[in-house]
Amino acid sequence: MTDTSKRAEHWQRTKSLMIITLTIWFIFSFVVHWFAASLNSVTFFGWPLGFYMAAQGSEIVFVLTLFWFVKSQDKIDRDCGLAEED
Amino acid sequence: MANNSDGGSFIENLPKIYGMYTGGFLVFVLLMAILEQMGVGADTIGILFVAFTIVIYAGIGWLSRTMAVDAYYVAGRQVPALFNGMATAADWMSGASFVAMAGGIYFGGHGYLAFVVGWTGGYILVASLMAPYLRKFGCYTVPDFIGTRYGGNLPRFLGVVVLAVASFTYVTAQINATGTIAARALQIPFEVGVWFGLLGILLCSMLGGMRAVTWTQVAQYIVLIIAYLVPVFWMSNKQGFGLIPQFVYGDAVARITELEALHGLGTLDPVAGAKGGLKALTVPFAAAGDSAMASWKFVTLVACMMMGTASLPHILMRYFTTPSVKAARQSVAWSLMFIFLLYFTAPALATFTKLQILDPNLASGIIGKPIESVLALEWVQKWSAVDFLQIIDANSDGILQLNEFFMRGDIVVLATPEIAGLPYVISGLVAAGGMAAAMSTADGLLLAIANALSHDLYYKIIDPEAETKKRLLVARILLLAIGAAGAFVASLKLTSILGAVAWAFDFAASGLFFPIVLGIWWKRANRQGAIAGMAGGFLVGTWYLYMVRWGGMDPWIGIDHLRFGIIGMPVSLILMVVVSLMTPEPDAEIQAMVDEIRVPSGETVLGSSH
């Protein structure tokens, strides 16, 4: 059993990361699309922006967020000495 | 692949093996192209494509046969993150994603894109809330986690019930899709095609369980992604849309909006008399509804699909197969990457097809042209003959108007190669891709149901003394029985493919989302709360579905049958929290277990063979 303070720190940082990740997720899943009609008046490389965000923009953000999340969580695990052995 | 002892070298050689496989498949496609040039008929090429790929998958299934429990249930927990990502992508992308999604966007425009957003963003929830923790837990199935975390047989049993209902709803649609494709490619009746499809599915999964399904799914992903992307790239370059069409179709979207005005979309009277399942274009492509209700409908559908993604057991169980917690996380990211490749192509494909049909300046454009010349087109004749397409000259002016042209959404994927004038070999490739998509999803779903019944219901509840041999025999018999039941229901053709697929997500979200999430993130969640949350969410959600769909009730603030998870989920959450707080907290042992799954290092909570 690793000492409790490391575990507490690990869980605290893990929770923060989860909250940041889910905030990004919430914005690009719901907030952006709620205003799709207004965004459509903006043109983005030819696309109406509201349509673009639903067809491609949000999805690109999701992929990038997930790779960033994986990297960040791994760093938290290592910093706290709770990562698995390679 | 045949036994555990050579597992190490097999895993190390995976890139080489699948590299050779991909090369082999491309050589096969070239061979078919040569045969076509030599005058071999289109039908023969279609049969060869479907038959050849199924034989390959069955061969992989046979090589992966196993009699070890952890190989059967979790592929021996040695699937590398990248390959598990491919397998999950194939597991995930169903016949509906492959065949129906682009068509859905073609007809539904912006509103339909809620599915695309929902079916990708759900993976953020999988990675941040669930997969790594379930991997550390070391369960074989999702009810295995619920049963152990909350204790007692009732939570486990309820988990099995929700899993079985959600997955079974989904699997009939997949078997239906394999039947449709097999029937068309092999030219056999649909009812026979369904059983033929099932045979292919069972050959991949029966002997090797999760191990066999994993390695066939990787193979199926490679076929389906090649089959989806090649026609789009080819068409785009042929029609001069650019080298990588996904990044440059913005102008095409703008052009469609102009053409819609030109053709009078929204001002024409609907024409009656179209055959079942055929639709005329009535919804503007890029415009989003400018009302709170339109926004509400979009985000509620997104929410149901996302929470459903994060609760569907056939997806979650894929992350039990990785060698480590870290690999489970990485593999969620790879899964989304591989899924993204298809999902960001579907709107591009829908756009190009629409432009080709609507634009009178393009040779392929048919709207606004004389009906006589349209009826002379080969693809129009061919797809009319099978009731995928219909033209009704309602005002008898001899010119095809937008409201006089009817088609099925599936055409967008299935017929685009022909509309764009690509060789038949591409259509054969598309059929093989659709088959791979439907088979891989059906495999994952059937295995999820059979494993839950054999491991959780039979072994954990009914006969905990059963020997390994007997357990694995029961697992296989159940797989066969459930597959047969699915094929039987599919052969009855009860629902349209998409309605059923969306329901599976709502069922899973209503019954499983909060019990799984709170089991990891809230130590105070206890058995009574989980029972109330699962049963309450699932029953209320199902009741709502019944009332709106068949009971004649008006949907409550736009929450129709596709979105009944919006009703089930809050009920599940509230019941679970309230009942947990009213009853004693879980014992110290359970709380220590929750602490343990929150750190990646150390042994799994459940042993490797349990």
Chain A residues with CB under 8 Å of B117 CB are 29, 33, 54, 58-59
Q: Pick the last residue of a domain from B443, B476, B504.
A: B504
Q: Pick from B117, B286, B332: which is nearest to A29 by CB?
A: B117
pLDDT of residue B2: 42
Q: Are B499 and B374 within one domain? A: no
Q: Across the strands, what pairs with A47?
A: A44
B340/chain A closest Cα distance in angstroms: 7
Name the nearest CA neighbour of B115 among B103, B127, B125.
Answer: B103
CA A67 to chain centre: 9
Kindly state whether residue B515 falls inside one of the protein's structural domains.
Answer: no
Q: Cα-Cα-Cα-Cα dihedral of B153, B122, B487, B546, to 10°?
A: 70
In this structure, are B442 and B372 located in the same domain?
A: no
Cβ neighbours of B423 (radius 10 Å): 16
Determine contact: B269 vs chain A, CB below 8 A: no
Residues of B in contact with A30 (CB under 8 A): 299, 302-303
To which residue do tokens 């050959």 refer?
A: B203
Burial B450-488 (b: 16+ CB within 10 A, else e): bbbbbbbbbbbbeeeeeeeeebbebbbebbeebbeebbe
| Residues B214 and B313 grouped into a single domain | yes
Predicted structure pTM score: 0.92
Determine contact, residues B596/B603, Cβ cutoff 8 Å. Answer: no
Is residue B432 pLDDT above 70, yes or no?
yes
Helix (H, G, I), strand (E, B) or coil at B578: helix
The C-alpha of A78 sits at a distance from chain B's nearest C-alpha, in angstroms, of 10
- Tell me: do B70 and B123 sit in the same domain: yes
Tell me, yes or no, whether B335 and B365 share the same domain.
no
Please report whether residue B577 resides in a domain. no
Q: Does the pLDDT of residue B266 top 80, yes or no?
A: no
Q: Which of A66, A57, A63 is nearest to A21 (CA)?
A: A66
d(CA B110, CA B289): 9
Cα torsion B325, B329, B335, B341 to 10°: value is: -150
User: Could you tell me if residue B303 is inside a domain?
Assistant: yes
Residue B496: what are its φ and ψ, rounded to 5°?
A: -70, 155
Please report, for residues B281, B283, B287, B364, the alpha-carbon distance to residue B358 in angstroms, rounded to integers and kept in the order given: 11, 14, 17, 9
The one-letter amino acid code at B372 reads: E
What is the rounded CA–CA span in Å between residue B505 and residue B309?
7
Residue at B229 is within a domain = yes
Give the number of domains in chain B.
Answer: 2
Residue of chain A with shortest Cα separation from B602: A84
Domain assignment of residue B610, yes or no: no
Asked if the structure places residue B561 within a domain, the reply is no
- Percentage of chain B lying above the pLDDT 90 cut: 43
Mean pLDDT, all residues of chain B? 88
State residue B410's pLDDT score.
Answer: 81
User: Quick check: B252 and B351 in contact, CB under 8 A?
Assistant: yes
What pLDDT sits at residue B3? 44
Calculate mean pLDDT across residues A51-74: 95
Residues B168 and B274 in one domain: no
Q: What is the pLDDT of residues A14-32, one digit of tens each?
A: 999 999 999 999 999 999 9
Optimal mutation site among B93, B110, B255, interface A, most CBs of chain A within 10 A: B110
Among B391, B419, B447, the domain boundary falls at: B419
User: B407 in helix, strand or coil?
Assistant: strand
pLDDT of B273 above 90: no
Q: Are B235 and B300 contained in the same domain?
A: yes
**ipTM value of the model?**
0.95
Shared domain for B274 and B368, answered yes or no, is yes
- Report chain A residues whose CB lies below 8 A from the CB of B129: 18
Q: Do B254 and A46 touch (CB under 8 A)?
A: yes
3-state SS assignment for residue A10: helix
Please indicate, yes or no, whether residues B436 and B327 belong to a single structural domain of this protein: yes
Average pLDDT, stretch B416-436? 86
CA distance B248 to B252: 8
Buried b (16+ CB within 10 A) or exposed e, B516-544: bbbbbeebebbbbbbbbbbbbbbebbbbb
**Inter-chain contact A46–B253, Cβ cutoff 8 Å?**
yes
Best mutation target, A49, A62, A86, to test chain B (most B CBs within 10 A): A62
User: For B358-395, how does the pLDDT look when each residue is reduced to its tens digit (9 = 90+)?
Assistant: 888 877 788 888 888 888 888 888 888 878 888 888 88
Residues of B in contact with A45 (CB under 8 A): 250
Task: Decide if B442 is inside a domain.
Answer: yes
B159 and B174 assigned to the same domain: yes
Q: How confident is the model at residue B495 (pLDDT cuts 50, 70, 90)?
A: low
pLDDT class of B517 with cuts at 50, 70, 90: very high
B370 and B316 in a common domain: no
Best mutation target among B119, B129, B599, B604 (most A Cβ atoms within 10 Å) is B599
Residue B33's CATH number: 1.20.1740
Residue to test with chain A: of B594, B601, B603, B604, most A Cβ within 10 A: B601
CA pair distance B252, B351, nearest whole angstrom: 7
Question: Domain check: are B86 and B103 in the same one?
Answer: yes
Section B268-294 average pLDDT: 81
Report, as an integer, the average pLDDT of B319-344: 94
Yes or no, beta carbons of B121 and A62 under 8 Å apart: yes
Query: How remote is the C-alpha of B363 from its chain's centroid?
Result: 35
pLDDT number for residue A86: 66
Please judge whether A25 and B121 are an interchain contact, meaning their C-beta atoms are less than 8 angstroms apart.
Answer: yes
Residue labelled with tokens 């409201």: B403
Q: Strand A43-44 and strand B405-407: pairing?
A: unpaired
**Residue B104 in contact with residue B234, Cβ under 8 Å?**
no
Q: Round to whole Å and give the CA distance between B448 and B167.
A: 8
Rounded-to-integer distance, Cα B393 and Cα B373, Å? 13
What's the gap in Å between the CA of B593 and the closest CA on chain A? 13
Average pLDDT over residues B460-484: 87
Residue B379 belongs to domain spanning: 245-288+352-419
- Residue in B closest to A30 by C-alpha: B299
Inter-chain CB proximity B340 and A66 less than 8 Å: no
CA-nearest of A83, A24, A69, A13 to B330 is A69
A29–B333: do the CB atoms touch at under 8 Å?
Answer: no
* Closest alpha carbon within chain A to B346: A55
- CA dist., res. B534 & res. B527, Å (int): 11
The answer to whether residue B598 is domain-embedded is no
Give the ranges where B206-287 is alpha helix by DSSP (H): 209-238, 250-262
pLDDT at B42: 81
Residue by residue, DSSP assigns B82-124 as: HHHHHHHHHHHS-HIIIIIHHHHHHHHGGGGHHHHHHHHHHHH
Tally the residues of chain A: 86
pLDDT at B420 over 80: no
Phi, psi for B175 (deg, rounded to 5): -65, -40
Last residue of a domain, one of B504, B530, B564: B504
Yes or no: say if B443 and B216 are a contact pair by the CB < 8 Å rule: yes
Taking the C-alpha atoms of residue A28 and residue A52, their distance in angstroms, rounded to an integer, is: 12
